[in-house]
Amino acid sequence: MKRALIALLGIFILSAGLSAQTRTSLTIKSNQAGAKVFINGNLVGTADPEFSALLSSDARPYTIKLTKDGYQDFQTTVIIRGDPVTVIATLVPMAQKPPAPNPPGPPTPPAPPPPQSATHFLSIESNVAGAQVFIDGVYYGTTPLSIRLQARRYTLRVTKPGHKDFLKTLELKRSERIYAQVEPLLYSVLIEAANAPGARLYKDS
């Protein structure tokens, strides 16, 4: 009877030793305290900020998952063989949703049109009819001429073949009348009457 008890005790001690040898410690370290720890889909505790457990070291995979509100889930797979295993779990905050846009306000009224500059009449006459009128180098017509222009500075030129150009710079601030005096060009003429000394010379008849 005594030998039988000793044999049973030996078997129990051997069994306990073998059982202890088939389990390996797993340590999980989380950067966020209070994260829930799941092993193979089962909730086994929380990491504050560490969690430890003894798992069978029969070289099978274990899926480790940590979750916490406001953070993305952390998940990894480890294989327990014999040496202690440590898992570093870094939980990343979830991206915050952008704030809702402000409701559209009343439509912006269109910009007022730019103020138009005032316009005035410019009348141009000359001592010779049909003289050509140029304003800032642009041909406008022949005298007599009346046009409407915006209020600003202008360069006026009145020209006629055989006459000197009439030039004038004016600041048009109100309606104006310009009289262009176009002077004829004068040329020197030398007339010799070698065979008729003392002959009389007539111009225009």
What pLDDT, in 10s, does the model give residues 38-50? 999 999 999 998 9
Q: Calculate the average pLDDT of the chain.
A: 83
Kind of pairing, strands 145-150 and 61-67? Answer: unpaired
Domain membership of residue 6 (yes or no) is no
Same domain for 173 and 138: yes
Query: Other CB atoms closer than 10 Å to residue 124's CB: what's the count?
Result: 24
Residue 68 included in any domain: yes
Amino acid, res. 30: S
Residues 73 and 137 in one domain: no
Range of the structural domain that residue 178 is part of: 119-184
- Domain co-membership, 91 together with 127: no
Over the range 147-165, which residues count as b (16 or more CB within 10 Å of their CB) and which as e?
eebeeeeeebbbbbeebee
Q: Are residues 37 and 80 in the same domain?
A: yes
Tokens describing residue 107: 């439509």
Residue 139's pLDDT band, with cuts at 50, 70 and 90, is very high
Residue 50 belongs to some domain of the structure: yes
What letter would DSSP give residue 111? P
Residues 129 and 91 in one domain: no
Query: Which two three-digit tokens encode residue 26?
Result: 């797993």
pTM comes to 0.39
Return the pLDDT at 35. Answer: 95
Q: What is the dihedral of CA 196, 202, 203, 205, to 10 degrees?
A: -120
The residue that leads in pLDDT, 87 or 203, is 87
| Residues β-bridged to residue 88 | 29
Q: How many domains does the chain have?
A: 2
| Residue 103 falls inside a structural domain | no
- CATH code at position 75: 2.60.40.1120
Using pLDDT thresholds of 50, 70 and 90, give the confidence band for residue 65: very high
Q: How far apart are CA 139 and CA 132, in angstroms?
A: 7
